[in-house]
């Protein structure tokens, strides 16, 4: 989404929010929200990313929020190089878990939590696994190669967001700024006997697939290489931007 489009959407939402202010101020305050992560589904695909969340109001200005669900990378299709070709992307799985503690800013909000501008710390964990069968070609023969990969991401940071409550029930949660520190651990296991040159080549191919299929990883792993054990680790600045829709009750 372009920045101008995002600003335009925020202006529309804020205008609608203000028009409902009087109604929301007199309505009953609800302390629970169940929600669905829209941005993750749009990024990875509805079939690959199903993450639900729950927010509980602890006081008029504080709440805690947890999220949990399925998260997997898109299927590898039509992936070919001069030497390797995907034969079967046979298994993909993963999980997303996160928690954040929110402080709704009293001076900036005319509403009680969970409505309004908030800040707070967060922690998120993502795990992706993948098993793929490849064929390796040379001038005289074709070799079948199986690979399995595990990718873990831990992120700790601080976020700023705004949650709209429309008609006292519909919640639209926008985490707008979420800088943090990310810990990335990627391991690729090649389950076939191949020579070191081919092993290095397919490891590099797996890295390229990761950076192409997972937005932002081209930055995270730009200066990193998979070592002889198939491991690639790094720590760097992470970022969180999420759009969620939910029901306030």
Domains of the chain: 3-248 (2.40.160)
Q: How far apart are CA 230 and CA 122, in angstroms?
A: 30
Condensed to tens digits (0 to 9), the pLDDT of residues 114-124 reads: 999 999 999 99
Q: Which secondary structure element, helix H or strand E, spans residue 157, and what is its range? A: strand 142-166
Q: How far is CA 194 from CA 30, 77, 201, in A?
A: 61, 23, 11
Is pLDDT larger for residue 186 or for residue 20? 186
**Stretch 218-239: mean pLDDT:** 88
Portion of the chain with pLDDT greater than 90, in percent:
48
- Give the predicted TM-score (pTM) of the model: 0.83
pLDDT at 4 over 60: no
Residues 138-175 have pLDDT tens digits of 666 777 888 899 999 999 999 999 999 999 999 999 99
Reported as a single tens digit per residue, the pLDDT across 189-215 is: 988 777 787 788 778 778 877 887 777
CB neighbours of residue 191 within 10 Å: 10
| Alpha carbons 185 and 181: distance in angstroms, whole number | 13
């Amino acid at each position: 989404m372009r920045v101008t489009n995002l600003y335009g959407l925020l202006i529309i939402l804020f205008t609608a929010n203000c028009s409902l202010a009087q109604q929301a101020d007199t309505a009953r305050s609800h302390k629970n929200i169940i929600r669905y992560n829209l941005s993750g589904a749009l990024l990875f695909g509805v079939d690959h990313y199903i993450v639900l969340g729950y927010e509980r109001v602890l006081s008029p200005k504080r709440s805690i929020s947890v999220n949990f669900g399925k998260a997997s990378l898109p299927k590898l299709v039509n992936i070919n190089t001069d030497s390797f070709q995907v034969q079967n992307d046979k298994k993909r799985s993963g999980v997303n878990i996160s928690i954040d503690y929110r402080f709704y800013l009293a001076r900036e909000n005319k509403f009680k939590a969970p409505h309004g501008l908030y800040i707070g710390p967060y922690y998120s964990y993502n795990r992706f696994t993948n098993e793929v069968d490849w064929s390796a070609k040379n001038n005289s023969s074709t070799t079948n190669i199986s690979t399995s990969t595990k990718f873990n991401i831990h992120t700790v940071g601080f976020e700023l967001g705004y949650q709209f409550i429309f008609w006292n029930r519909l919640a639209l949660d926008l985490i707008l700024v979420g800088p943090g520190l990310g810990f990335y651990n990627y391991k690729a296991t090649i389950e076939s006997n191949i020579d070191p040159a081919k092993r290095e080549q397919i490891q590099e191919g797996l890295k390229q697939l990761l950076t192409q299929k997972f937005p932002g990883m081209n930055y995270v792993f730009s200066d990193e290489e998979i070592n002889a054990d198939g491991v690639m680790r790094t720590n760097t600045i992470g970022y969180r931007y999420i759009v969620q829709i939910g029901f306030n009750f």
